Structure 1
């Protein structure tokens, strides 16, 4: 931290306006600590924010409670979204979990609605939109200068990287890099109840997962009536690029996806036929090595995917939000000693992320095993029995 002016409050920069970065900024401002969020999106409505999330009581919901957002969350959440079915490639239902009215503990909420809730706790002037980070320079007297793609820059005394899987801020702390796990394709069925009523009834108000050997087909309902269909497959890191889906005719895309699921139940693969032409988006799924740590620094830290990128099995957003409120609490408890705040936060976060990351890795591996449907069904049945 720049110590040339001990009376000046440290300038805190949060790189990344995702769920974790906004939870941090909102909690800091709630405690009278100023911070600026630098977000690459051009504005709050610059793009859609993806599908739905189930918020865990011990992490995501805890963060919202700390922020004073519990009632607003309940107003936007969809308890019916907890309904889940697990099927095998033959279309047999192995698990059908339906929450009792008023009994669900992990209601779904659309990611966009959740982001709006978090933005409501951050002053408008504290978010700097359209600022894509391109470089970080350490300043001679301490702190950092952030360089942005628009040619601008900003100086800070404390830098928090909430900039996701490909974090630039992470490079200041560790050589750890994400490891490739699988490929993920997402497609969409918009206005499903009206346009595809049979598919909408099949998916129901929540989600389903059909699991085979190194291949998964999923579908999840969003609050806006969209059903998001996903394909996950264990292939190499260049597979998505080699497919050239973006340049192919839609009929060819559909035919090639059917080839992936040759022999699967026709009721399941009808999800592919129902998807909107041109809606396919592909990416790789990656994760940081479980237990990634770094020597604590007094002026830089990370949260969320930048700190502990995990397989997407439901923990990432929850842990990012919890990171944000716990880091803000640490800054409030050590107002005159940011180094102590960062060290205290990282000690807890490292241990928590190692446990959750190991669990997430086991679930991810289980979900792409040869007997994935049976194994995951057994896992969910054990969890239900234990709850």
Structure 2
């Protein structure tokens, strides 16, 4: 079957995260029709996560292409670029305070970014409550999307923007994410200026990191007077159940953590003890390096579905750059197949290079030198 002209193609994006929505926005800006399918029952079904830094050399490029850069800067927090590095005694060993006009990588809450992108799309672009089960049909199309509710939809192009455990990826790659050996445990702090003023002062307006080589704490200020803390350790992926606990056993988990951080300063230990609500277990996975696949004229991947890496400041930025380049390629190519080939010729080498740099780097988060004491670490 001959590849379809993009202007006539039925384009389906799986996943309504920042990457999928960025791709949809730019496609619509370029006059192409697109539908986004997401497994959540609606846009407010779950918390969208913490804060993101969007960098001028990738994430901001995508937002400029989407025509949303000015709106982003109105929402972003340049003060969130502040970074503090501490030792386990709570002594600051490095402190970056951004200049008043510094816009290298301003912060924005993930939920705010998602809402900005959602509100920019045509009505009914996103079809909620559509969890993909599998893809069938010949490689040259058309493809059939099978959803878990028993419905199916025919399409000419499937774009997998559905994250680490993508349901689109098996259509072109047998690769699966592997556990890195490093686990995050997320803790939330609300109304921090009133309820946790000492911790608000400790963290500042951006991020604060402390580590001793074996364990680490990373705290991030979010908008709305919130702080998220990530407790980082090398542990088996099932460390909670191995200790006879469940994720809901906040007191039991806290007792284990306090033993591990027994030698740390009481002030830093409050980032473990004073959280509002339960912890959230977030083991860190990554795809094999390099992760590539043979060209397929009807399926491609972007973001974590294509190149899941340790969380060192590049994930959402590379994903949004992927989305921008794919959308522009579709708008400027004669066929869908040509667009995919042009996009992957740029994306795969770029992502492979970065994945090689970050391979095994999840352990850098435990380093006493910190993952971001200088900006080169996250570049």
Q: Give the match for residue 246 of structure 1.
A: 247
- Give CA-to-partner distance per residue, 1:180-236, whole Å, 9 cap, x none: 111111010111111111111111111101112231111111101111111111122
Matches within 5 A, 1:48-59: 48-59=47-58
Q: d(CA) in 2 for partners of 1:140 and 1:301?
A: 11
TM-score between the two structures when normalised by the length of structure 1: 0.92
What's the CA shift for 1:173?
1.0
What's the CA shift for 1:133?
0.8
- Give CA-to-partner distance per residue, 1:48-106, whole Å, 9 cap, x none: 21110011101111100111111100100001111111112232222111101112411
What's the CA shift for 1:32?
0.7
Q: Give the match for residue 216 of structure 2.
A: 216
SS at match of 1:32: coil
Is the Cα–Cα contact under 8 Å of residues 12 and 158 in structure 1 kept in the other structure?
yes
- 1:195–1:341 Cα change, 3 Å: same
TM-score between the two structures when normalised by the length of structure 2: 0.94
SS at match of 2:368: helix
Q: Give the match for residue 289 of structure 1.
A: 288
- 1:381–1:52 Cα change, 3 Å: closer
1:145 aligns with 2:144: yes
Is the Cα–Cα contact under 8 Å of residues 2 and 157 in structure 1 kept in the other structure?
no
Q: Give the match for residue 228 of structure 2.
A: 228
What's the CA shift for 1:247?
4.2
**5+ residue gaps, structure 1:** none
Is the Cα–Cα contact under 8 Å of residues 6 and 32 in structure 2 kept in the other structure?
no
- 1:112–1:381 Cα change, 3 Å: closer
Count of residue correspondences: 376
1:380 aligns with 2:378: no
Greater Cα shift, 103-112 or 301-310: 103-112
- Pick aligned residue for 1:357 from 351, 355, 358: 355
Q: d(CA) in 2 for partners of 1:283 and 1:300?
A: 29
Q: d(CA) in 1 for partners of 2:230 and 2:7?
A: 50
Q: d(CA) in 2 for partners of 1:328 and 1:88?
A: 44
Q: Give the match for residue 204 of structure 2.
A: 204
What's the CA shift for 1:246?
2.8
- 1:31–1:88 Cα change, 3 Å: same
Q: d(CA) in 2 for partners of 1:140 and 1:174?
A: 13
- 1:23–1:6 Cα change, 3 Å: closer
Matches within 5 A, 1:30-41: 30-41=29-40
Q: d(CA) in 2 for partners of 1:140 and 1:354?
A: 25
Q: d(CA) in 1 for partners of 2:139 and 2:197?
A: 63
SS at match of 2:276: coil
- 1:6–1:257 Cα change, 3 Å: closer
Matches within 5 A, 1:146-165: 146-165=145-164
Matches within 5 A, 1:258-273: 258-273=258-273
SS at match of 2:185: strand
What's the CA shift for 1:357?
1.8
1:275 aligns with 2:275: yes
1:73 aligns with 2:66: no
**5+ residue gaps, structure 2:** none
Q: d(CA) in 2 for partners of 1:344 and 1:88?
A: 47
What's the CA shift for 1:325?
0.8
Is the Cα–Cα contact under 8 Å of residues 2 and 143 in structure 1 kept in the other structure?
no
Q: Give the match for residue 101 of structure 2.
A: 102
Q: d(CA) in 2 for partners of 1:340 and 1:2?
A: 11
What's the CA shift for 1:242?
3.1
1:190 aligns with 2:190: yes
